[in-house]
Chains A and B, each alone.
Chain A
Amino acid sequence: MNGKTETTDIVGLLARLAVGGVLIYAGLMKALAPVEEFGYAIESYRVLNAQLSLWTAYVMPWIELWTGLLLAAGVFTRLNAVLSGLMLLGFEAMLGQAWLRGLPITSCGCFGSGGGNSIAREFTQNLVFLALSWIAARYGGYWSADKAAETL
């Protein structure tokens, strides 16, 4: 293994853990809170109606949690990194339209009742995680279950 490869491997691993970690945290915070809370947060973006917001709130925390865990463990790394990226793109679309429309959103709902940053800050933060998802998809194989399954 040459030096260059090792650096990208480590960067890929860190990116995988960062994106996986944030998704696990976000999913857990929401899964351990009343579903209505996240439902109201989704509703405040004025994209989905109350019923659809609630259904999304039922499903989303679990998808975040499972994707985060699988990505962090390196199980189907590329697939889960792409899925994470797609989720982040979805969040960006929601945040972006709220930002453009000037909606009065006090909590983005990103991390349950733990509060959140301003829309602009969340948007920027998600861009960073989006970039990290790409790195994880490209170089996230180091120390992964995928690699271990190959050698067993």
Chain B
Amino acid sequence: MIDRKNARLLALAAMIVFISTVAVLLARQFNIGPERPAPDFRTFGPKTAPVQIYEYTDFSCPACRHAAGKIDEMMKIYGPGLRISFKHYPLMDIHPWSFHAAAYADCAGEQGKFKEYADLLFENQEKWAQSKEKPKEFEAYAAQLKLDWPKITACADSAETLRRLKLDIAEGDLKGVNATPTFFINGRRAVGGGQLVDQARKFDNILRAAKP
């Protein structure tokens, strides 16, 4: 038989466990918590920028292509006020080659040309995204950018690359990302290019103040 003191302590322990569990689950849902840094080659803008954007993107998604243009525009307008980090969130159920594209883009990034490779993937999305066989474009873009293709394929097959991509996807899942592109602008969620611009306007004053 549990005595009165232990009964009180058990009730308190149960309360602490319950409240802390609910708090952590809510924090996950509302995206409170540390953001995993993206690799340097996928991050653009100064570390100290007042507005930090994380974009979960998929190279096969037309809305992501559209948003990429908006991001480039914002980078030009706001310059040092903005830092953008790309995270991969390939929707593999509907885009058969997006995981491969993400891996090749990262490996192009290892050779210093992530952005250039990503731009080519987005610009020519219709040519490869729904291809029945493995698209030849992946190699062609590497050649166009004078990248070492055998090195890229080895890198894309490596456990390290696979792990990095899986972690991006897992992080997106944890944050409740279910559509691309999803942005987190100083922690605030925006889905699609339209919401991105709307949210960015809220930081307009900060962004303009940061202009040189």
Residues of A that sit less than 8 Å from B by CB: 28-29, 31-37, 40, 62, 65-66, 69-70, 73, 75-76, 112-114, 145-146, 149-150, 152
A34 near B173: Cβ-Cβ < 8 Å = yes
Q: Would you list which residues of chain B between 13 and 39 have a CB under 8 Å from chain A?
A: 13, 16-17, 20-21, 24, 27-28, 32-34, 36-37
8 Å CB contact of A70 from B5, B13, B33, B171: B13
Q: Give B66-81 as 1s and 0s: 1 = Cβ < 8 Å from A's Cβ atoms.
A: 0000000000000000
Interface status of B9 (Cβ within 8 A of chain A): yes
4 smallest beta-carbon distances between A and B, as pairs: A32-B33, A34-B170, A36-B170, A149-B8
Chain B neighbourhood of A35, CB < 8 A: 170
B9 near A146: Cβ-Cβ < 8 Å = yes
Chain B neighbourhood of A76, CB < 8 A: 9, 13
8 Å CB contact of B20 from A36, A40, A66, A113: A66
Chain B neighbourhood of A32, CB < 8 A: 24, 27-28, 32-34
Chain A neighbourhood of B16, CB < 8 A: 66, 69-70, 73, 75
Chain A neighbourhood of B170, CB < 8 A: 34-37
Looking at the assembled complex, report how far the CB atom of B111 sits from the nearest CB atom of chain A, in whole angstroms.
22
Chain A neighbourhood of B28, CB < 8 A: 31-32
Question: Whole-angstrom distance between the alpha carbons of A32 and B173 in the complex?
Answer: 12
Q: Can you pick out 29 interface pairs between chain A and chain B where the beta carbons lie within 8 Å of each other?
A: A31-B24, A31-B28, A32-B24, A32-B34, A33-B33, A33-B36, A33-B171, A34-B36, A34-B167, A36-B170, A37-B167, A37-B170, A40-B163, A66-B16, A66-B17, A66-B20, A73-B12, A75-B9, A75-B13, A112-B34, A113-B34, A113-B36, A113-B37, A145-B9, A145-B12, A149-B9, A149-B12, A150-B5, A152-B8
Chain B neighbourhood of A150, CB < 8 A: 5
Closest A residue to B15 using CB positions: A75
Chain B neighbourhood of A37, CB < 8 A: 36, 167, 170-171
Interface status of B174 (Cβ within 8 A of chain A): yes
Chain A neighbourhood of B174, CB < 8 A: 33-34
Looking at the assembled complex, report how far the CB atom of A113 sits from the nearest CB atom of chain B, in whole angstroms.
5
Chain A neighbourhood of B37, CB < 8 A: 113
Looking at the assembled complex, report how far the CB atom of B59 sits from the nearest CB atom of chain A, in whole angstroms.
21
Chain B neighbourhood of A40, CB < 8 A: 163, 167
With A31-B28, A34-B171, A70-B16 already in contact, 5 other A-B pairs whose C-beta atoms are closer than 8 Å: A28-B24, A32-B32, A34-B170, A40-B163, A112-B34
Interface status of B100 (Cβ within 8 A of chain A): no
Question: Whole-angstrom distance between the alpha carbons of A66 and B12 in the complex?
Answer: 12
Closest A residue to B170 using CB positions: A34
Q: Would you list which residues of chain B between 154 and 177 have a CB under 8 Å from chain A?
A: 163, 166-167, 170-171, 173-174
